[in-house]
Structure 1
Amino acid sequence: MAKVILEKVEKVYPNGFKAVHGINLEVNDGEFMVFVGPSGCAKSTTLRMIAGLEEISGGKIYIGDNLVNDIPAKDRGIAMVFQNYALYPHMTVYDNMAFSLKIKKTPKDVIDEKVKEAARILDLEEVLKRKPKELSGGQRQRVAVGRAIVRDPDVFLFDEPLSNLDAKLRVHMRVQLSKLHNKLKTTMIYVTHDQVEAMTMGDRICVMNLGRVMQVDTPLNLYKYPANKFVAGFIGSPAMNIIEGELINNGFIAIKIGGVELQLPQSKADKFKNHVGKKVYFGIRPEHINLEEGESTVKIKGRVAVIENMGNEAFVYFDFFGTQFIGKVDSLKANLINIGQEETFVLHMDNCHIFDFDSEENIGI
């Protein structure tokens, strides 16, 4: 096992395009770290630089105590699982998993022991003699993981390994990978564009955008305390409701949106006194917009566009001064709401977020 450290790591392509902008990151020994972000945010590029499959343009990468900038991929103590699994179609499952050990001229009895142990961990013992074309997608994915396990690496790298699986199998496999990490206790870095996958698997998550790190924290802290507007809008499903407003003081601190003033609770108001009179972004998650009045709540009206009934709850989409807002209400109460009609919703202001208009940083944490 080993920690992974990135110090001011950059990637600039020959045409001058800068894909990665001075990333600083420390992945702890034995940690499951997830890189997440939209397509084109350079999360896979960063993973490939750690693996040694992509040259860095600046900075330093450490795996354990070793500076690996100039060390070839095969000597970095890493094992990588790719999106397309990269299995040899003419080899059996056993031979696919044993291949890297055979290249290293590992003794046959050691190879056999390692392959069978990995097969046992991954429930592949019954398919060791089959070819990849005879396997399901989930089985092929596990063979790719098994091929990595037998190498006994210091660090596992996963590049969107579940993206080719159907929705039900993805859920099953992410549970299996989490169990595998708990069993092996090896450092794992996992790339995905799926924020639900990130939230359910990672010890910590590195949220990236446009080649920069937006925030690194535990899943719960990212959700409850987003550092900026991008993280707030990216983490969470459905996404946080965000709208432009102005902080005002009419005897109380409030957010003015259109002709509506949303009073902030005193616990939050004290943090924003220096921003009165300035434009800001107001954010609140769907679960904090419902029909239940309580302490520190305010009411707003919005015209209902869509109701998504999920069974025991429903997501209600409505227009609030030209911005689509989403509330989360009990499904029975959702049946009393009419599409196309103006309805009254309750905002629980203790849970709102305020972002600086220029920097987009969260000014309330």
Structure 2
Amino acid sequence: MSKVVLEKVEKVYPNGFVAVHGIDLEINDGEFMVFVGPSGCAKSTTLRMIAGLEKVSRGKIYIGDKMVNDIQPKDRGIAMVFQNYALYPHMTVYDNMAFPLKLKKVSKDDIKEKIKEVAEILDLEEVLKRKPKELSGGQRQRVAVGRAIVRNPEVFLFDEPLSNLDAKLRVHMRVQLSKLHKKLKSTMIYVTHDQVEAMTMGDRICVMNLGKIMQVDTPINLYKYPENKFVASFIGSPAMNIVEGELIGFGENILVKIGDREFKLPDNKKEKVKNYIGKRVYLGIRPEDIYIDNIENTERIQGIIDVIENMGNEAFVYFKAFGEQFIAKVDPSKINGLEITKEATFGFHMDSFHIFDHVSEKNISI
């Protein structure tokens, strides 16, 4: 196990395109770190620089106490699991997993013992004599993970390893990988575009966009205390409702103007945003913080319902207010009586709002 440190790491391609903009990151020894972000945010490029598959343009990468910028991938003490499994089709499961050990001239007895140990961890004992074409997608992925484990690397790197699996199998495999991390206590870096995977698997999450790190924190802190508008809108399903507004001073109070309505900010928000009076802002509220019942002691708005999605355990109500689209996440037992194209009353508390600077998009309310 080793920590991984990136210092001012950049990736610039020959045509001048800057893919990664001088990022700093420290991944702790034994930590499960997830890189998440939309397509093109450079999360896989960053992972490939750690692996040595992409050359670092500027900056330094350390694995343990060793700077690895000019060290070959095979000598970095890493093992990588790819999206496409990369198994040898003519080899059995046993031989696929044994291959990296044979290259290291490990004895047959030691290979046999190691394969047995890893097969038990990954529940592959019954398929060791089969070839990849005889396996399910989940089994193939476990073989690819097993081939990485037998190398006993300092750091595991996963590049969207579950994206080829169906939804049910993805859920099963992410549970298995989380259990594997707890068992091996190894440093793992995992790339995904799926924020649900990120939230359920990572000890910490590195949210990236356009080659920059937007925030690094625990899943719960990213959700509750997003540092900027991008993280607020990216983390959470359904996404946070975000609308434009303005902060207005009114005597000792600060009001938020949204459309033609004004709402008083609570005292715990007022002190944090007082320097932004008279300025445009973005306002964000989570779907679960908008209510359709027990709204007596809340601020209230009227909205025209567009769509109602009943998911069984929860319901999503899409509605328009202030000329903006909102979504409320509610108990499905509360949607009786709501009708498409009809008006309904929704409630919320002002202390549930996040407030973002209109220019920098920084969260100014935390």
Say yes or no: TM over 0.5: yes
Distance in structure 1 (CA, Å) of the matches to 2:119 and 2:326:
48
Residue matched to 1:6: 6
Residue matched to 1:337: 338
User: Does the 8 Å CA contact 2:260/2:322 hold for their aligned counterparts?
Assistant: no
Deviations 1:12-32 (A, max 9, x none): 001111000001000000000
Is residue 2:309 matched to residue 1:304?
no
Residue 41 and residue 347 in structure 1: after superposition, are their counterparts in 2 closer, same or farther (change >3 A)? same
DSSP-derived class of the 2:200 partner: helix
Is residue 2:270 matched to residue 1:269?
yes
Percent identity between the aligned chains?
Answer: 77
Is residue 2:74 matched to residue 1:101?
no
Distance in structure 1 (CA, Å) of the matches to 2:298 and 2:54:
51
Residue matched to 2:288: 287
Distance in structure 1 (CA, Å) of the matches to 2:294 and 2:354:
19
DSSP-derived class of the 2:206 partner: strand
How much does 1:354 deviate? Answer: 0.1
TM-score (normalizing by structure 2) = 0.98
DSSP-derived class of the 1:290 partner: coil
User: Does the 8 Å CA contact 2:295/2:346 hold for their aligned counterparts?
Assistant: no
Q: Give 1:253-264 correspondences, 5 Å limit.
A: 253-264=254-265
User: Does the 8 Å CA contact 2:293/2:334 hold for their aligned counterparts?
Assistant: no
User: Does the 8 Å CA contact 1:296/1:350 hold for their aligned counterparts?
Assistant: no
DSSP-derived class of the 1:232 partner: helix
Residue matched to 1:236: 236
How much does 1:163 deviate? Answer: 0.1
Residue matched to 1:86: 86
Is residue 2:198 matched to residue 1:198?
yes
How much does 1:296 deviate? Answer: 7.0
Q: Give 1:26-41 correspondences, 5 Å limit.
A: 26-41=26-41
User: Does the 8 Å CA contact 1:264/1:296 hold for their aligned counterparts?
Assistant: no
Q: What is the identity, as a one-letter code, of the residue corresponding to 1:28? A: N
TM-score (normalizing by structure 1) = 0.98
Distance in structure 2 (CA, Å) of the matches to 1:130 and 1:176:
21
How much does 1:313 deviate? Answer: 2.5
User: Does the 8 Å CA contact 1:299/1:347 hold for their aligned counterparts?
Assistant: yes
In structure 1, stretches of 5+ residues that fail to align are none
Deviations 1:115-159 (A, max 9, x none): 111100000000000000000000000000000000000000000
How much does 1:320 deviate? Answer: 1.9
Residue matched to 2:63: 63
How much does 1:293 deviate? Answer: 4.3
Residue matched to 1:131: 131
Distance in structure 2 (CA, Å) of the matches to 1:150 and 1:37:
30
Q: What is the identity, as a one-letter code, of the residue corresponding to 1:164? A: N
Deviations 1:144-201 (A, max 9, x none): 0000000000000000000000000000000000000000000000000000000000
Is residue 2:52 matched to residue 1:44?
no
Aligned length: 365
Is residue 2:196 matched to residue 1:173?
no
Superposed structure 1 runs of 4+ greater than 4 Å apart: 293-296
Distance in structure 1 (CA, Å) of the matches to 2:158 and 2:296:
45
